[in-house]
Amino acid sequence: MIATPAYGPLPRLVALRRISLLAQGLVLLLAVGWLKIPLAVGSMIAITVLLALFNLMTQWRLQQSRPVSDDEVLAQLLVDVLALGALLYFAGGSANPFVSLFLVPITIAATVLPAKHAWFMAGATTLTYTFLMFWNLPLPAPQGEMAELDALVARASGVAPEHAGHVSGFALHVLGMWLNFVVSAGVVALFLTRMAAALKAREKELATAREAALRHEQILALGTLAAGAAHKLGTPLATMAVVLREAELTHGGESPELGEDLRLLRTQVDECKKILSQTLASAGQSRDEASNRLALDAYLERLLEEWQLIRPRVTIAARLDGPRPAPDIATDRTLEQALLNLLDNAADASPEGLAFNAAWDQSVLSIDILDRGPGIDENTAARIGEPFFSTKGGLDTASGGLGIGFFLTNATLERFGGRVELTPRNDGGTCTHVTLPLSRLCGDPT
């Protein structure tokens, strides 16, 4: 089956038929009005009008939702062959220089249809050509100025005048063959090049779809592994919480600094348990049912407060700019986790502190996360969205990573119609720029 988008064969065939109808009218006007060739004008005009009405009906058919089959395209081409054969019957048959226009439907069929349809079209045009060789209304001999032009072209072509005299319409035939070649070459080149461009565009779309499907498969695999890891981490985290609580009760009073460190560790363990619980609870649902809808500025403030619980030793200067009251958004745990990942990456590169600048208007939310880290080069920026590519070294380093955080973050932001860009700052460090359309935040991202 062939679909009905603008790059399909049938819309282009309709456009090509319009050009053909215009050319038929001009040639008929030229032959009758200027060359004074006596033709069956009434019959030929009737054929042209019927073909124009058929083209209008085809244009209406393109507005329907049902797909276009290969058989339907073949039928459309057969109508064109029949119309051309009927016109040539009244204008000299196979002796008419425009008979080679039968090559056009063959070319189109060979380009866009299966081989059996192309061979059928070749047989149909050959049969029509053969019919016109034996049954037709012959063109009359040229008169007046055309007769003189006949002799002139014959001499220029090296044909003996006495031979040219036996050839009816020699000049008209030569000039017509030349014009026919130019028209045929232009039509075939135009159609084939545009079809080739359309096929390349379709291949590009398919490649993009395959890439998206592969990325979704990777995300699904990571999600499955993450769910299993979250389930398994529950037991060791519970054990750590109990041990830290006992250590705090036993040794917390001996040293204030030790007691403070133990309380910080227990807070971090509790936060990890909370994150795991939320992750497992929100599996299969994209919205945070506990909060449902929240003002954008309140959502960002809650996000920063939650991140400060995870990274209490990193200072952050936050600035929220936008019209108040801020629009309400449907909060989403996956989006929140994506933004937390970006904050974590910036904090890893700049543990001494960073800045968080958010601004919004009626349509777009923009977030800039500014750090004072070593910055990022162009090669790293080009690869940083790839899965399992990390700039933090391996897991054996203090801040090592698996290289999946930014990959998942980017996939989440794309699901909301957003994007993230990393650019080096002029005074050192990196700017992480996030843009999100508010229309997607206020509704369903899917």
Q: Does 157 lie in the same domain as 295?
A: no
**What pLDDT, on the 0 to 100 scale, is given for residue 80?**
95
| 38: in domain | yes
165 and 18 in one domain? yes
The pLDDT, as a whole number, for residue 286 is 44
Same-domain pairing of 205 and 296 = no
3-class DSSP state of 114: coil
- So what's the pLDDT on residue 78? 95
In the chain, the largest separation of any two C-alpha atoms, in whole Å, equals: 128
CATH of the domain at 342: 3.30.565.10
pLDDT of residue 359: 94
Closest CA to 16 of 65, 63, 67, 51: 51
Which residues are bridge partners to 435 per DSSP?
A: 366, 419
401 conformational bin, left if phi > 0, alpha if psi -120 to 50, beta if neither: beta
Token pair of 56 as six digits = 């209008």
DSSP element (H, E) containing 346? helix 333-349
Kind and range of the H or E element at 256?
helix 256-281
User: Residue 191 is encoded by which pair of tokens?
Assistant: 């159609």
User: In which residue are the tokens 């809650």 written?
Assistant: 302
**Are 342 and 205 in a shared domain?**
no
Report d(CA 240, CA 235) in Å as an integer.
9
- pLDDT tens digits for the chain (446 residues)? 444 445 578 898 998 899 889 988 888 888 777 767 778 888 999 999 999 999 999 999 998 888 899 899 999 999 999 999 999 999 888 778 788 888 888 888 887 888 788 888 888 888 888 898 888 888 766 555 555 665 665 566 555 554 444 444 555 654 665 666 556 655 655 665 567 677 778 888 888 777 777 766 666 666 656 666 665 676 777 778 778 877 877 776 677 777 788 778 888 888 777 777 666 555 544 444 444 688 999 999 999 998 888 888 889 999 999 998 888 888 777 788 889 888 988 888 888 889 999 999 988 999 999 998 887 777 766 666 565 555 555 444 444 444 566 777 887 888 888 888 888 888 888 899 999 998 888 765 44
Give residue 2's pLDDT: 41
Residues 144 and 17 in one domain: yes
Domain-terminating residue out of 183, 212, 241: 212
Query: Number of structural domains, the chain?
Result: 2
Tell me if 260 is assigned to some domain: no
pLDDT of residue 445: 46
Residues 444 and 316 in one domain: yes
Q: Where are the alpha helices (DSSP H) in 114-255?
A: 115-134, 145-156, 161-166, 170-251
pLDDT attached to residue 319: 94
Which residues contact residue 422 at a Cβ distance below 8 angstroms, ignoring those fewer than 6 apart? 376, 381, 384, 430, 431, 432, 433
Question: Do the domain assignments include residue 251?
Answer: no
Q: Provide the CB-side half-sphere exposure for 173 (13 A, CA).
A: 20
Out of 180, 212, 244, a domain closes at: 212
pLDDT at 79: 96
Q: Does residue 257 fall inside a structural domain?
A: no
Which residue type is seen at 234? Answer: G
Question: Which of 7, 8, 13, 11 is CA-nearest to residue 104?
Answer: 13
Domain assignment present for 27:
yes
Write down which residue in 212, 243, 273 finishes a domain. 212
Pairing mode, strands 316-321 and 354-360: parallel
64 and 156 in a single domain? The answer is: yes
Query: Do 98 and 192 have their domain in common?
Result: yes
Q: Which residues contact 320 (CB under 8 A, 6 or more apart)?
A: 297, 300, 301, 358, 359
The reply to whether 354 falls in a domain is yes
Is 282 part of a structural domain of the chain?
A: no
**What pLDDT, on a 0 to 100 scale, did the predictor assign at position 365?**
93
For the full predicted model, state whether its pTM sits above 0.85: no
Alpha-carbon distance of 11 to 7, in angstroms, equals 7
Asked if residue 337 and residue 190 are part of one domain, the reply reads no
**Residue 309, in any domain of the structure:** yes
Both 190 and 320 in one domain: the answer is: no
Tell me, yes or no, whether 331 and 200 share the same domain: no
Residue 429's domain comprises 291-446
pLDDT attached to residue 402: 42
Q: Mark whether 39 and 158 lie in a shared domain.
A: yes
45 vs 37: CA distance, rounded Å: 15
CA 64 to CA 60: how far, in whole Å? 7
